[in-house]
Amino acid sequence: MTGALIWLIAGILLIIAELLSGDLFLLMVGAGALFGAGSAALTGNPFIDVAVFAVASVGMLALVRPALKRRFLSGPDIKTNTDALIGARAVVVSTVDVESGRVKLAGDVWSARCMIDGEPIAPGTSVTVVEISGATAVVSAAL
């Protein structure tokens, strides 16, 4: 039973050490050690325990770790800051032309300019934000 306890302690320590590394390597090896602890509790043969540990660790490193890393690194595509404003609707507060103007965007008044040179956009008109250039919203007349 002492072999199982050693494997169990090693597995728990490796899993705790994973909290510091964050690379999922120690987690997989720690899980392999837990499998080794199970094998030690069932068989008591150290050669079988090491073989179970090796097969479980390599298998988890080869199969589970890449899938977990892909899952964690993909994450949701959440736009924040000015990226979240692109494509948003705004209302013209003061006439917008290619040089200046003001729009109400996301509850705030922003300086704005037209994307296309042409007729100025009158106050009260709904526009779409095409890009954010510094602190200026580049807008286009809403379709």
> Per-residue pLDDT for 119 more than 90?
no
For the entire predicted model, the pTM comes to 0.53
- Give residue 83's pLDDT: 84
Q: Among residues 49, 50, 71, 60, which one has the least CA distance to residue 25?
A: 60
Strand partners for 136:
111, 133
> Per-residue pLDDT for 77 more than 80?
no
- Give residue 21's pLDDT: 86
- For the chain, where are the alpha helices, taking DSSP H only? 2-21, 25-42, 46-59, 65-74
Q: Considering the domain delimited by 82-141, tell me its CATH architecture.
A: Beta Barrel (2.40)
Q: What's the mean per-residue pLDDT of the chain?
A: 90
Q: Where are the domains of the chain?
A: 3-73, 82-141
